[in-house]
């Protein structure tokens, strides 16, 4: 049997390697980690979520996801490293232990498996899902424009060939609908962090409107603290703010929907880098990226733990 300890975190991996490793992680930490399937993708790949739980029923929870945009490989790699970190720090790190003693963590590492498999087999720079709709010229939908929050408004494209195509209707993508169903049936998710790359940003809602969220001040303060923690490790510079004021108008985005569902601590990251490699960040930067991101994630998770609502 392979051990999760021999896995090379400083390398990029295929979906099969990641899924195999998830099983090993579960085997190595059976009382903490389990794997649940929340649905299946358009091409029938399982959508797996790692659940980190020390017990209790329907505890308040934190959701993390990586890889909703297929070509952002640093995010899947960060997700793998983070899963291992959570598992290995429980019982060692007082902060992680305290989080897991009162909350569950859910982590979806390969959020867009069809797209990710396609980046390994056919087109390394593929971003979208792989769904086909009759009448559409091109394949795939941008799963970060497919949520029911300002769906189809400015900040998404109605052209199927565009990288920001919003899809025929909200939640048309099973990869999105599965998370929607999971979040709604769980009903007790208190923090939701969706991880993208690149450009070094920590963002909170909204993307589809300039209207400030009611919790803007608190989210802004948490962002400042998280970014300070992140930068403390390697000096990586992040900007933070609402999506629409910091990057651009984007409708149908993940965390706009989660915020509107009542998940106050909704954030999205854009990981390294500032513009030397873009989506082709060299593998030797995986661990440093994951390490610095972890510090910011911890700030957000701790804040959620200490400010349950």
Partner 1 sequence: QQLFVGDQVLRVSARNEEQISLLGVLGEQEELQVDFWRHPNSPGHPVDLRVPFLTLQGVKKFLDFHNFSYSIMIEDVQELLDEEKESMRRSRRI
Active site residue 270: yes
Q: Is 308 near partner 1 (CB under 8 A)? A: no
Q: Is 283 near partner 1 (CB under 8 A)? A: yes
Q: Compute the distance between CA of residue 70 and CA of residue 72 in angstroms, rounded to an integer.
A: 6
Assess contact for 100 and 52: CB atoms under 8 A.
yes
Show contacts with partner 1 in window 161-220 (CB under 8 A): 161, 163, 198-199
CB of 73 to partner 1, least distance (A): 8
Of 60, 241, 278, 288, which one interacts with partner 1 (CB under 8 A)? 278
Our CB check for partner 1 shows the closer of 273 and 302 to be 273
Q: Is 276 near partner 1 (CB under 8 A)? A: yes
Assess contact for 66 and 42: CB atoms under 8 A.
no
Give the neighbor-by-neighbor strand order of the sheet with 46-52: 33-40, 46-52, 104-108, 61-66, 189-197, 265-271, 201-204, 239-242
Tokens of residue 278, six digits: 């873009």
Q: Is 158 near partner 1 (CB under 8 A)? A: no
Of 24, 233, 247, 295, which one interacts with partner 1 (CB under 8 A)? 247
Contacts of 213 (CB under 8 A, 6+ apart): 204, 205, 206, 219, 242, 259
Q: Is 121 near partner 1 (CB under 8 A)? A: yes
Q: Is 237 near partner 1 (CB under 8 A)? A: no
Tokens of residue 31, six digits: 């009382």
Show contacts with partner 1 in window 127-156 (CB under 8 A): none
Show contacts with partner 1 in window 64-103 (CB under 8 A): none
Assess contact for 36 and 48: CB atoms under 8 A.
yes
Size of the site for partner 1 (CB under 8 A): 24
Q: Compute the distance between CA of residue 3 and CA of residue 175 in angstroms, rounded to an integer.
A: 29
Nearest Cα residue to 68 out of 136, 154, 129: 129
* Phi, psi torsion values for 165, nearest 5 degrees: -65, 130
Catalytic annotation, pick one of 72, 175, 270, 292: 270
Assess contact for 107 and 72: CB atoms under 8 A.
no
Q: Is 287 near partner 1 (CB under 8 A)? A: no
Of 11, 95, 232, 307, which one interacts with partner 1 (CB under 8 A)? 11
Our CB check for partner 1 shows the closer of 182 and 198 to be 198
Q: Is 53 near partner 1 (CB under 8 A)? A: no
Our CB check for partner 1 shows the closer of 94 and 275 to be 275
Q: Which helix (H) or strand (E) holds 193?
A: strand 189-197
Our CB check for partner 1 shows the closer of 119 and 171 to be 119
Q: Is 16 near partner 1 (CB under 8 A)? A: no
Q: Applying CB under 8 A, which residues contact partner 1?
A: 8, 10-13, 121-125, 161, 163, 198-199, 247-248, 275-280, 282-283
User: Which residues are identified as catalytic?
Assistant: 270
């Amino acid at each position: 049997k392979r051990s999760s300890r021999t896995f090379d975190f400083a390398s990029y991996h295929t979906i099969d390697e990641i899924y195999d490793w998830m099983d090993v992680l579960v085997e190595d930490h059976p009382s903490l980690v389990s794997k649940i399937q929340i649905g299946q993708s358009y091409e029938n790949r399982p959508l797996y979520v790692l659940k980190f739980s020390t017990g209790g029923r329907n505890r308040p929870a934190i959701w993390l996801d990586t890889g909703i945009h297929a070509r952002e490989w640093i995010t899947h790699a960060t997700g793998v490293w983070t899963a291992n970190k959570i598992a290995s720090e429980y019982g060692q790190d007082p902060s992680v232990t305290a989080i897991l003693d009162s909350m569950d963590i859910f982590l979806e590492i390969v959020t867009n498996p069809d797209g990710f498999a396609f980046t390994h087999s056919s087109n390394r720079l593929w971003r979208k899902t792989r769904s086909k709709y009759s009448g559409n010229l091109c394949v795939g939908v941008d799963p970060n424009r497919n949520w029911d929050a300002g769906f189809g408004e400015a900040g998404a494209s109605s052209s199927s060939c565009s990288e920001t195509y919003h899809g025929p209707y909200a939640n048309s993508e099973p990869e999105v609908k599965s998370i929607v169903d999971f979040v709604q049936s769980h009903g007790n998710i208190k923090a939701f962090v969706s991880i993208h790359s690149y450009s070094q940003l920590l963002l909170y809602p909204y993307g589809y409107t300039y209207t400030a969220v009611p919790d803007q001040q608190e989210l802004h303060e948490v962002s400042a603290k998280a970014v300070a923690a992140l930068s403390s490790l390697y000096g990586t510079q992040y900007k933070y703010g609402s999506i629409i004021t910091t990057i651009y108008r984007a409708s149908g985005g993940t965390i706009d929907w989660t915020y509107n569902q009542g998940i106050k601590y909704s954030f999205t990251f854009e990981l390294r880098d500032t513009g030397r490699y873009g989506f082709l960040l060299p593998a030797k930067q995986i661990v440093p990226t994951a390490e610095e991101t972890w510090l910011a994630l911890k700030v957000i998770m701790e804040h959620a733990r200490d400010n349950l609502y």
